[in-house]
Chain A
Amino acid sequence: MSGHQQSSIASFGNKMIISNTSNSKKWQPPANFRQLPSKIDGITIFAEVEKSEEEQKLESFKCPKCGATTKFNVSTSGIACEHCGYTVPVAAEKVGREAAENEFTLEALKRGEQGWGEDRRVLHCNSCGAEIALDQKAITSTCPFCASNQVNVLAPESNIILRPRFLIPFKVSPESNQERIRQWLGKGWFHPDELAASAILDRLAGIYMPFWTFDANITANWKAEVGYEHTESYYDHSSKTWRTRTRIHWRWESGQIYLPVDDLITPGNSHISQHILNQILPFHLSELVTYAAGYLAGWQAQAYDIQLPDAWETGKAIIRERAKEACYADIPSSHIRNFSMQADFADESWRYVLLPIYLAAYKFDNRVFQVMVNGQTGTIAGQKPVAWWKVWLAIGALLSPGILLGLIGLPLLLAGGIGVLPLFAGFILLVIGGIIAFNLYRKARESEAD
């Protein structure tokens, strides 16, 4: 044995984290690395801590200057004190559509399947020490005793649950919504005239709602019998003349389409109206920022209750229908039969994001109606009462010309023969009026639907 020593540096990679040192005892891992268990004695292992792994700790928002409650202010895009006006910007990074996406790992799907339960739970207020009862899915809370705004209030034992990593901050201020909703209520002729003036806005809450976004690349192979029209001449023996007719020649064809799907949004909460929600879409995901508790201060936020696998099934159903449409568009004829296809999903990924929505309700005629406002774009949609007498009057007006002409034409036809013309015109007007009347009725029904 010899006790000589030799040191050397071996580098086969292109990125060196370890620094030059003559004594490994003095070596310390970088600050963002944490030690992992090692299977072999004499070897220590450190790994970088990913931001997503960092615990989202309960944060209370109080003004450092005056001690009053602070909240995210839409106008200043910062955390502002309503008492002294002190404002600090929110520490977050705008990532837009580049926001990291997750693969459908078995582990993620398992975590995404975890439910929240229905029980309420108790939160200990960091600020005044009060015990507050909370909804299991609430992410934020305002203490009813000291009014402090608290974020990341999800139960610590819910670590197995997926947590949001990106959000779009509110851009539309709550103050502007009152007027915006009044204007929206005043639109449309088949609603009560006094709706805009008499509706009593019951509540207007800005809430970060959970959404899933999905990406996938679809390669679809289709096969179908495709029919091509061609005109041919034939001799009609009965009339003894040459005539033309159109025939369809069928032949088997196949093809392939490629369909990239980027940021398909599906809701993560089952308790809001999907019908109204669809009307306030889209959200511009180019405005996505990294999750920061400051954005949620003073605002409500909900965690998902539609689990990732269920949301993905919904997303897949939408995507495969899109792929089917793309296959049909690839076929150079409108005559198609025995169509079949196979859509191969690749590079599937997902994100869990929070998007800003104002939920409002107003009372009119002792009934409560829901309204939603897109907190990013200001798009409004919701329920509106219908003045049905206006609708029926309009339907009557639409159908009456046809009926009237029919009533005139019928006796004329019986009397002498010139009634054919008004009868035909009446029929056409009745059909047109019927179609418009049906659409009007449908629109009126949808206006009241939740």
Chain B
Amino acid sequence: MEQQIIPPSHITETVELTWGLERIVGGCRACGQAYLISKSWIGQICPHCINGRLEEQPAVVRQEPPELLILFQLNKARLQNIYTQFTRGLWLAPDDFNPNHLLQRAMPVFWPMWLVDSDVKGVWQAEMGFDYQVKSSVEAYQAGQWNTQQRIETRIRWETRIGTLERHYDNIAVPALEEHAKMSSLLGDYALEQAKTYQIEDLGNALIWLPDLSPENSWEIAQKAIQQAAGNECQKAAEAQHARNFSIQAEYSNQRWSQMLLPMIVSYYHGDDGKVYPVWINGQNGQIRGIRAASQRKGWIWAGVSSGIALALFIAGLLLTAIPPITVLGAILIVLAFCIGVFAIIPAVWPWQWNRKQR
């Protein structure tokens, strides 16, 4: 791989010159991630690790401003609704696990993807699959007569195709974060076709997560994405319904790298175990992901109270059995005490089981 093909990144401490923003670079010592933030965000919790605090620092920022951006589609009322739905119905929920707290801590963040433009010129080869139909039949014999039932089956005929390709590909989206796969898994798919041209006023007060994968490091993935796009075009050009084993020997030139910003909202809550639990929302479609942790502390309290009641009932039952006229009542109380005692195990065990499943 010849790395000089990609325009180099520049370390800058004054992003005003590059992106036209009155922002500073804020970084987190705990996780090493950096963001473009307004000064008011200094000292706030890091939206990535929900652990460190943001500090002003120098960072690697590419000179080109983002090319595309997907707008936040969620207003405060919808956010409140999403958090309400998320927190609803959790038994033994921690005290901090409520929609108001989540809404108060919500941080709008744009996370980045690289957009690559490139000319591609080369020779390709693939197996193209063409649907075709065959006629088959089922012959039924009954009461001395044959009846034929015709059947049409669709099959795929695979044929080798080769050829040349000289095309330009625009805005091939490739990861700009090492944690891209994790973020995609958490936030789901974005409707990338709804991305609009970057404008400063669309950023609002949101944090802008800076790429931690340089174009140089993303090139291999970008190349595969371009080849995927080329493969799709070759399939269309051949009018094939399917394609497999696509390969291309190509030259890539006139590359241009820019960024696309995707919206997300990060919030968090404190569990009763002292841990901080992040909650992510896809800023476009409202998909929410995060752990709904149950409180083990509350579980123990419930179990303790239940056990105490069971013990009291048991003692009362024992005493009542000694008084002949109400011996039966005493026996009932003892049975009831046993039942409550057994059920006391549930709040003790359930948070552990639930949290294990959530993870």
B-binding residues in A (CB < 8 A)? 1-18, 20-22, 24, 27, 29-30, 33, 36, 38-40, 42-48, 103-107, 109, 316-317, 320, 323-324, 339-346, 348
- Within B76-126, the residues touching A (CB, 8 Å) are 121-126
Contact, CB under 8 Å: B141 / A324: yes
A-B residue pairs, 8 tightest by C-beta = A13-B245, A4-B5, A40-B237, A43-B237, A340-B142, A11-B247, A44-B163, A343-B139
Contact, CB under 8 Å: B254 / A2: yes
Contact, CB under 8 Å: A5 / B251: yes
Whether a CB of chain A sits under 8 angstroms from the CB of B246 is: yes
Contact, CB under 8 Å: B161 / A39: no
Contact, CB under 8 Å: B160 / A47: yes
Contact of A6 among B137, B163, B237, B252 (CB under 8 A): B252
Contact, CB under 8 Å: A18 / B249: yes
Contact, CB under 8 Å: A320 / B1: no
A21–B162 alpha-carbon span in the complex (Å):
14
Which residues of A sit under 8 angstroms from B223, Cβ to Cβ? 8, 10
Which residues of B sit under 8 angstroms from A342, Cβ to Cβ? 138-141
Min Cβ gap B153→A in Å is 9
- Within B150-189, the residues touching A (CB, 8 Å) are 152, 155, 159-167
The answer to whether residues A45 and B5 also contact, given A14-B245, A341-B141, A348-B136 and a CB cut-off of 8 A, is no
The answer to whether residues A16 and B133 also contact, given A4-B4, A24-B164, A38-B238 and a CB cut-off of 8 A, is no
A45–B161 alpha-carbon span in the complex (Å):
6
Contact of B141 among A29, A38, A340 (CB under 8 A): A340
B1-44: CB near A (< 8 Å → 1, else 0) gives 11011110000000000000000000000000000000000000
A210–B155 alpha-carbon span in the complex (Å):
29
Contact, CB under 8 Å: A17 / B167: no
* Residue of B125, B167, B239 contacting most chain A CB atoms (<10 Å): B125
Query: What are 22 A-B residue pairs whose CB atoms fall within 8 Å in the complex?
Result: A2-B6, A2-B7, A6-B1, A11-B247, A12-B247, A13-B126, A17-B160, A21-B123, A42-B165, A45-B161, A45-B162, A46-B161, A48-B160, A103-B134, A103-B155, A104-B134, A105-B133, A106-B132, A109-B135, A316-B148, A324-B141, A341-B141
Contact, CB under 8 Å: B246 / A43: no
Which residues of A sit under 8 angstroms from B140, Cβ to Cβ? 340-343
The answer to whether residues A13 and B127 also contact, given A4-B255, A5-B5 and a CB cut-off of 8 A, is yes
Min Cβ gap A11→B in Å is 4
Contact, CB under 8 Å: A2 / B255: yes
A-binding residues in B (CB < 8 A)? 1-2, 4-7, 121-127, 132-143, 146, 148, 152, 155, 159-167, 223-224, 227, 233-234, 236-239, 244-256
Which residues of B sit under 8 angstroms from A320, Cβ to Cβ? 139, 141, 146
Contact, CB under 8 Å: B137 / A316: yes
Contact, CB under 8 Å: A20 / B249: yes
A238–B111 alpha-carbon span in the complex (Å):
105
Which residues of A sit under 8 angstroms from B238, Cβ to Cβ? 36, 38-39, 45
Contact, CB under 8 Å: B159 / A48: yes
Contact, CB under 8 Å: B236 / A39: yes
The answer to whether residues A18 and B162 also contact, given A40-B237, A340-B141, A345-B136 and a CB cut-off of 8 A, is yes
Contact of A12 among B132, B138, B245 (CB under 8 A): B245
Contact, CB under 8 Å: B125 / A7: no
Which residues of B sit under 8 angstroms from A5, Cβ to Cβ? 5, 251-253
The answer to whether residues A42 and B5 also contact, given A106-B135, A342-B139 and a CB cut-off of 8 A, is no
Which residues of A sit under 8 angstroms from B162, Cβ to Cβ? 17-18, 29-30, 33, 45-46
A16–B125 alpha-carbon span in the complex (Å):
8
Which residues of B sit under 8 angstroms from A105, Cβ to Cβ? 132-135
Contact, CB under 8 Å: B237 / A39: yes
Contact, CB under 8 Å: B246 / A13: yes
Which residues of B sit under 8 angstroms from A44, Cβ to Cβ? 163-165
Contact of A43 among B7, B234, B249 (CB under 8 A): B234
Which residues of B sit under 8 angstroms from A344, Cβ to Cβ? 138
A17–B152 alpha-carbon span in the complex (Å):
35
Select from chain B the residue with minimum beta-carbon distance to A33.
B162
A343–B236 alpha-carbon span in the complex (Å):
40
Contact, CB under 8 Å: A4 / B253: yes
Contact, CB under 8 Å: B163 / A43: yes
Min Cβ gap B241→A in Å is 13
Select from chain B the residue with minimum beta-carbon distance to A13.
B245
Q: A14-B245, A43-B234, A103-B134 are in contact. List 8 more A-B contacts (CB 8 A).
A: A6-B251, A11-B247, A33-B162, A42-B165, A45-B161, A46-B162, A345-B136, A346-B136
Which residues of A sit under 8 angstroms from B237, Cβ to Cβ? 38-40, 43, 45
Min Cβ gap B253→A in Å is 4
Contact of B164 among A16, A27, A39, A339 (CB under 8 A): A27
The answer to whether residues A18 and B123 also contact, given A2-B7, A45-B161, A340-B142 and a CB cut-off of 8 A, is yes
A407–B46 alpha-carbon span in the complex (Å):
125
* Residue of B143, B234, B247 contacting most chain A CB atoms (<10 Å): B247
A241–B224 alpha-carbon span in the complex (Å):
95
A437–B236 alpha-carbon span in the complex (Å):
74
A316–B137 alpha-carbon span in the complex (Å):
9
Contact, CB under 8 Å: A40 / B137: no
A136–B127 alpha-carbon span in the complex (Å):
40
Contact, CB under 8 Å: B163 / A45: yes
Contact of A46 among B6, B163, B247 (CB under 8 A): B163
A339–B249 alpha-carbon span in the complex (Å):
63
Which residues of B sit under 8 angstroms from A14, Cβ to Cβ? 245
Contact, CB under 8 Å: B160 / A43: no
Which residues of B sit under 8 angstroms from A341, Cβ to Cβ? 140-141
Min Cβ gap A339→B in Å is 8
Contact, CB under 8 Å: B248 / A10: yes
Contact, CB under 8 Å: A38 / B163: yes
Which residues of B sit under 8 angstroms from A33, Cβ to Cβ? 162
Contact, CB under 8 Å: B123 / A27: yes
Contact, CB under 8 Å: B247 / A24: no
Contact, CB under 8 Å: B132 / A107: yes
Select from chain A the residue with minimum beta-carbon distance to B168.
A42
Min Cβ gap B195→A in Å is 21
Which residues of A sit under 8 angstroms from B249, Cβ to Cβ? 7-10, 18, 20-21
Min Cβ gap A313→B in Å is 9
A95–B61 alpha-carbon span in the complex (Å):
67
Which residues of B sit under 8 angstroms from A40, Cβ to Cβ? 167, 233, 236-237
Which residues of B sit under 8 angstroms from A13, Cβ to Cβ? 125-127, 244-247
A106–B132 alpha-carbon span in the complex (Å):
8
Which residues of B sit under 8 angstroms from A4, Cβ to Cβ? 2, 4-6, 253, 255
Contact of B138 among A16, A36, A343 (CB under 8 A): A343
Min Cβ gap A412→B in Å is 49
